[in-house]
Amino acid sequence: MTESAALHPDDVRIIRALQIAPRASFAAIATALGLAEGAVNRRYRRLRAEGVIRVVGMVEPGALGQSRWLVRLRCRPGSVAAIADALAEREDVNWVALGAAGCEITCATQSRSREQREDLLERRLPRTAAVIDINAFAVLRQFLGGRGHYWAALRGTLTEAEEAALGSDGPPFIESPVVSREPLHLTPEDEKLFAALGRDGRAGLVDLAAAAGLTPGRVSRRLDALLRQRALRLDVEIAAAALGYHARANLWLRVHPSAVKSVGRALAEEPGIAFVAAVSGPWNLHAVAHCRDLDELFEFTSERVGSLAGLQGLEVSPVLRHVKQAGTRLVDDRLVDDRLVAPARARARR
């Protein structure tokens, strides 16, 4: 599924409902949207099976006292696909994209320990002969990202009353400090819980309890605590191409230091922006744009982004292929279960 025309309007409404409340029951979604519970169930399962949407629970490294990094790799021609695939297989790399005529990889790390981060940035990548250059940028402040609720492209899909009826499954990850000053320590049960949520962020309490060795009541309370402490992030992953967004780009902005916050906040309100954060280095803001085509990308970057007060420079790097997003692999612009990546990749080659 690569065209938004293939999605029924109710499909898009369900996607928006999940952005707001990722773990809401089918009954709650049906009541809020005025649909039959069975219809919501069937549509969601079809959207997930076709790789349009996936809900996953992820550890937020900042809650564990670990910083996040964006990495740009310049590679020798012919080697980039293999390096991108190797990066995508790592659990501590949760976003991988190819750009710059197939010679550049942009990835995001979510290392859960300093040792894990140093292993990747100081040993693994520098020793790879095909890597010509490495630039790493620390994420200093996140203005938009994490839960898909805050990608503004689907605002207006539901009425205010429908959105209010859905409530929310936890605090937003908007303009939040990226590293906690009081790191949280996860228990063995927490680790099992995160593993289960990584497979399915909408797994029921009974299934989660069985996976973690806890009672459903304890799991419910622990989930609430992890969400409140921002240790758990419920990511609503959407295959943007299924909604008609075929042109993606990494935006690297150089902004006057006094304008970083205002520009970051302004970008976070733009429907074309799916992620924006302040970063270290010569480009002090990084954003990910989703547009319907290259013409819309040009208009968006020249008119909307280019007119922002304080902007001193802008690099637009179109994404040639999205390999992984928020921990899930993509094949032919569809979200693919890790167990199906190998056969799906084989089909893509044929």
Residue 193 sits in the same domain as residue 122: no
Within a domain: residue 210?
yes
SS3 113: coil
Return the pLDDT at 338.
63
H/E stretch holding 174: none
d(CA 298, CA 213): 52
The total domain count for the chain is: 2
Residue 154 sits in the same domain as residue 298: no
d(CA 90, CA 51): 21
H/E stretch holding 163: helix 160-166
Residue 74 sits in the same domain as residue 190: no
Residue 35 sits in the same domain as residue 155: yes
Within a domain: residue 349?
no
Return the pLDDT at 233.
87
Residue 195 belongs to a domain with what CATH number?
1.10.10
Structural contact between residues 300 and 291, judged by C-beta atoms closer than 8 angstroms: yes
Residue 18 sits in the same domain as residue 55: yes
Return the pLDDT at 115.
86
* DSSP secondary structure code for residue 156 in this structure: T
Within a domain: residue 350?
no
Q: Residue 311: phi, psi to the nearest 5?
A: -70, 130
Return the pLDDT at 346.
46
Return the pLDDT at 176.
62
Please tell me the number of Cα atoms within 13 Å of 112 on its side-chain side: 13
* Average pLDDT, 10 consecutive residues per value, the chain (350 residues): 65 93 95 97 96 92 88 90 91 89 87 84 82 92 68 85 80 64 90 94 96 96 91 89 92 97 92 92 95 96 96 95 89 79 47
Residue 320 belongs to a domain with what CATH number?
3.30.70.3460
Return the pLDDT at 230.
84
Residue 299 sits in the same domain as residue 155: no
Residue 44 sits in the same domain as residue 164: yes
Type of residue numbered 266: A
CA distances for 270 relative to 133, 291, 295, angstroms: 32, 11, 17
Residue 56 sits in the same domain as residue 155: yes
Type of residue numbered 74: R
**Residue where a domain terminates, one of 238, 262, 282:** 238
Residue 226 sits in the same domain as residue 259: no
Domain that holds residue 86: 67-146+244-343
